[in-house]
Amino acid sequence: MAVKEGWNGRYFEDFEVGDIYQHPWGRTITAADNAWFTLLTMNTNQMHFNDHYAEQSTFGRQLVNSGFTLALVLGQSVIDVSQNAIANLGWDNIRLTHPVFVGDTMYAESLVLELRESSSRPYAGIVKARTRGLNQDGKVCLTYERSVMVYRRDATQDKEHFPKAEFPIDAEGPA
């Protein structure tokens, strides 16, 4: 029986300027997501957790915490942009262009803007991408640019991390 590798993400050599990745999974935002993130991060703006307060606002309902929206869209992009990253190097030009509400489903897509070799790490390169988050209606809710250091395919630092099992999966183990 052969072990089949799963999707391991892109390495530096796999990126080309102009590539567009429509990240595969959408995510519907729940009231619990919004309240937990807001309270976890000690954000005291009632627009994110007090229905009575939010109903009297310009929007007439709770806004999703913009920090959560940014974190969610960033997370959605990992599979295509930074699965093999060493580190994020920076985020620039973050723009919140449309409100996000509980019940919205967010999707994300990224455009590769720049590539360059790392001058300090020969086993890595730097990818700069513009990412945007869209709601279920195609409204662009968030945009940002991110620079990330990504391993090269022949880097050894991200290999051989899966633990060796005490016995093969296709063999009988201890009862």
Domain edges within the chain: 12-151
Angle at CA 89, nearest 5°, toward 153 and 45?
A: 130
Residue 80 corresponds to which amino acid? Answer: D
Distance between CA atoms of 175 and 157, rounded to whole angstroms? 36
DSSP percent split of the chain into helix, strand, coil, nearest 5: 20, 30, 45
Residue 10 has pLDDT above 90, yes or no: yes
Q: Confidence class of residue 175 from pLDDT cuts 50, 70 and 90? A: low
Mean predicted confidence (pLDDT) in 15-44: 95
At a CB cut-off of 8 Å and minimum separation 6, what does 48 contact? 34, 35, 38, 54, 62, 63, 64, 65
Residue 173 has pLDDT above 70, yes or no: no
- Is the CATH number of domain 12-151 3.40.50.2300? no
What are 35-89's pLDDT values in tens digits? 999 999 999 899 998 999 999 999 999 999 999 999 999 999 999 999 999 999 9
Average pLDDT value for the chain: 92
Residue 91 has pLDDT above 90, yes or no: yes
Mean predicted confidence (pLDDT) in 143-160: 90
Q: What is the pTM of this model?
A: 0.88
pLDDT of residue 5: 72
Question: Would you say 81 and 145 are in contact if contact means Cβ atoms under 8 Å apart?
Answer: no
Q: Confidence class of residue 27 from pLDDT cuts 50, 70 and 90? A: very high
